[in-house]
Amino acid sequence: MSRRILGPFNRVEGDLEVILDLDDAQRVAAARVNSPLFRGFEQVLLGRDPLDALAIVPRICGICSVSQSVATASALADAMGIRPTANGIRATNLILAAENLADHLSHFYLFFMPDFAHRAYASRPWFEATAARFAALQGSASAQALPARAGLLKLMGFLAGKWPHSLGLQPGGTTRAPGASERIRILAQLRECRAFLEQILFGDRLEAVAAIDSRAGLATWAEGRAGDFPAFLALAADLGLEHRGRAYDRFLSHGAYAGQTAPLFPAGLWEPGTDPAPLDPARISEDSRHAWLVDEEGPLHPARGLTRVEAGKPAAYTWCKAPRYAGQPFEVGALARQLVAGQPLLRDWVNRQGASVPARITARMLELARVLPAMEDWARSLEPGQPYCTPGELPADGHGAGLIEAARGSLGHWLEFRRGRISRYQIIAPTTWNFSPRDSQGQPGPLEKALEGLPAGPEAPPLVQHVVRSFDPCMVCTVH
Amino acid sequence: MSAPLRLLWLQSGGCGGCTQSLLCHERPLFAELAGVGIEFLWHPGLSPASGPEALQILEDAASGATPFDILCLEGALLRGPAGTGRFHLLAGSGKPMTEWVARLAPRARWVVAVGSCTAYGGLSASTPGNPLEACGLQYEGHIPGGLLGREFRSGAGLPVINIAGCPTHPGWVTDTLAALALEGMQPDDLDELGRPRLYADQLVHHGCPRNEFYEFKASAEKPSDLGCLMENLGCKGTQAHADCNTRPWNGVGSCLKGGYPCIACTEPEFENPGHPFLETPKVAGIPIGLPTDMPKAWFVALAALSKSATPHRVRENARADHPRVLPVQKKTGLK
């Protein structure tokens, strides 16, 4: 047995340490994930005016900023008993989708792909082209991908003032009604993004990508196709990555992009070989056993949750709590969202082989292909002259919950206020689920489980890196 | 061109949003930095080196084995609990980030605080009683000091350069870095809070798209209204230093253009305004946060006068989310 401590684990959002116990064959026998930064936003919010959360929570995270805003706006709307206007819902969806898709692009081009320019792969036939295209800071791809990402985020300029950290997302909708010309510019910006995705990333129409309905169909589609995603699929097949990174194969989604009747992607739970089950938020709890936080009286539902520091706690190894659903670890993210939503290619893939590095990447790519057309619809259906924000009154005492989907998965805010001041605020972020530590039952978190069995000696290829980054962790959200 | 300037970028008690904002730069970012001769020694979000390899880069920089030029830090310094720095031990190193920064800063020709939390403490320092013991590099709130102390000067003889903002505009960062690379900076290039004057000499109010509503004190009453946000909704644009309304965000935007108030995020202690962010504190119905360089009595008198002269169009539109009354068409030609 030997131990390796990997950190600073870079090209993720925030700071991350992964502690690996290796067996004699240099394979991971046990993994522990440490989220080493604690800022205590749940305490920052205590005693503040409830609406101050709109200014404070986006600053939890510079990459999921809008997601945090939408979650708190939704929790406040719940407490007010209001629902945003139709235009407000469309604009919120556009703003949230712009962030989520921009995050998928950042992840693929800046965080994930540069690992395949690692010298460990120098002998592979695809190495030279991949290194020229994706090497960190040097590759040719970022000169195309960064402007495409910035172009998508121009929607923030039109609809939300700026990104990150907008105050434009309110319980009743959004604060900015775009004019006729701005609506045209938003559509132009979306066309520009579509062109990048179709010409550079996919080498095909978005609708054709979204229609791929099986694992075999994906392989046929990718064969010989020019595009950054097909290039990834080729090297992933060469490296056998579809056998790497399986966690528990239990998936959870809060449901994404509100609609007048149903969200674009529904809420629920899914496991291979089954039909989706409904999500019951009352069964969510957080367990502090292995966090440097007081245990309280055991795992608590976030509506009753507490966050109190106990820095010297024995057996703790992270600042992150362990969220569980019905006592079990669940994986969240684009893959979970699409599996719950019944996307046929991913259902077929995970039914056959379980979750993996390329399945998670493919889920993000399919979201780019599925959500951009939805954005075009939302932009076209913005109704001139109709309101973007409905007023609401906060009672002096109240509570609310906001359960949404960020790029990286399920994000929940639980808020309680007394005499006009916040008395409790609890947050479970996507990477809190995925990178959670062990719980009181000793069950490892999803990443900890996914790393078990991987070759991880000093001479091993960067498989641990691929698996960790396949979750697209956001560490600043994780502990908040 | 002479040898490239090496830039070491680290993150601590913040949200990473200033890097994310920087990546929204209008022009290809890496090419622009390379164009003025700046190369990354290491950046946690962008560089290839990870784990032990990354730690070695930092150790060599801290020991002086690898000279470098610019240290950019993003995020507050967390000195707690009880002075241990354990709220952020740099992953893989087991050492507090505060210790790394204290070793690295004296080695740099310039030290740059990217974002208000790095400059002054920001939101990380806003928990009542500041249990995180969070501070900025050279300030704790508006008080000089912070981690490095008020007397600190970097290799080039400057105090910490505070690119305050929550987040920073990409242009504030690229222009500051380019100014350092091309000409260096002099003490006079920074304002009294250490901010580069290239963006901090202006007020957010300058170029505000709600200017006409401000002139006539035609005020918004609720979120999404078009009117001036100063009287009721907490806007501090007439007091906050930044060029947000002349240097657009994300190509076209700003907080004011987005329909919500300036919360003065470039100022020390903006995070604890002492009133709800979305409300204007008033005494006897008059906002207490009036423009900084105008006698209060004059402002009140002018406000009363302009309110009495507000055109119907401006008054109506101030309380709507899109213009309900349009400017009249002049029939006789413009003179």
- Tens-place pLDDT, residues A84-130: 999 999 999 999 999 999 999 999 999 999 999 999 999 999 999 99
A-chain residues near B30 (CB < 8 A): 137, 142-143, 146
pLDDT at B1 over 70: no
* Cβ within 8 Å, pair A165-B40: no
Per-residue pLDDT of A53-85, as tens digits, reads 999 999 999 999 999 999 999 999 999 999 999
Per-residue pLDDT of B190-239, as tens digits, reads 999 999 999 999 999 999 999 999 999 999 999 999 999 999 999 999 99
Ordered by start, the domain boundaries in chain B are 5-200, 202-323
The mean pLDDT of chain B is: 95
- In whole angstroms, give the CA distance from residue B95 to residue A420: 41
CATH fold for the domain made of B202-323: Cytochrome-c3 Hydrogenase; Chain A, domain 2 (4.10.480)
CATH of the domain at A255: 1.10.645.10
- In whole angstroms, give the CA distance from residue A363 to residue B209: 41
Q: Which of A444, A428, A438 is nearest to A477 (CA)?
A: A428
**Chain A residue with minimum CA distance to B18:** A62
- In whole angstroms, give the CA distance from residue B101 to residue B98: 5
Predicted local confidence at residue B297, as pLDDT: 87
CB pairs under 8 A between A and B: 262
Predicted local confidence at residue B300, as pLDDT: 87
Task: Give yes or no for a contact between A412 and A284, defined as CB atoms under 8 angstroms apart.
Answer: yes
**Close Cβ partners of A180 (under 8 Å, ≥ 6 residues apart):** A384
Angle at alpha carbon of residue B33, lines to B27 and B39, rounded to 5°: 145
3-class state of residue A56 by DSSP: helix
- In whole angstroms, give the CA distance from residue B170 to residue B173: 5
Tell me the pLDDT band of A51, cut-offs 50, 70 and 90.
very high
Query: Which residues are B6's β-sheet partners?
Result: B39
What tokens were used for B237?
A: 């644009």
Per-residue pLDDT of A355-391, as tens digits, reads 999 999 999 999 999 999 999 999 999 999 999 999 9
With a pLDDT cut of 90, the percent of chain B lying above it is: 90
Q: Which of A235, A229, A190, A231 is nearest to A209 (CA)?
A: A229
Q: How many domains does chain A have?
A: 1
Per-residue pLDDT of B46-92, as tens digits, reads 999 999 999 999 999 999 999 999 999 999 999 999 999 999 999 99
The mean pLDDT of chain A is: 97
Predicted local confidence at residue B27, as pLDDT: 86
Q: Which domain holds residue A424?
A: 2-479
Task: Give yes or no for a contact between A302 and A428, defined as CB atoms under 8 angstroms apart.
Answer: yes
Per-residue pLDDT of A308-332, as tens digits, reads 999 999 999 999 999 999 999 999 9
- In whole angstroms, give the CA distance from residue A85 to residue A389: 6
- In whole angstroms, give the CA distance from residue A376 to residue A395: 37
Q: Which of B63, B65, B165, B81 is nearest to B123 (CA)?
A: B165
pLDDT at B176 over 60: yes
Q: What is the CATH number of domain B5-200?
A: 3.40.50.700
> If contacts are CB pairs under 8 Å, which of residues 179-218 in chain B contact chain A?
none
Task: Give yes or no for a contact between A444 and A31, defined as CB atoms under 8 angstroms apart.
Answer: yes
- In whole angstroms, give the CA distance from residue A111 to residue A115: 8
A-chain residues near B250 (CB < 8 A): 150, 153-157, 162-163
Its pTM stands at: 0.98
Predicted local confidence at residue B294, as pLDDT: 82
Per-residue pLDDT of A262-304, as tens digits, reads 999 999 999 999 999 999 999 999 999 999 999 999 999 999 9
* ipTM for the whole complex: 0.97
Predicted local confidence at residue A318, as pLDDT: 98
Q: Which of A302, A307, A417, A425 is nearest to A49 (CA)?
A: A417
* Cβ within 8 Å, pair A43-B127: yes
- In whole angstroms, give the CA distance from residue A431 to residue A408: 7
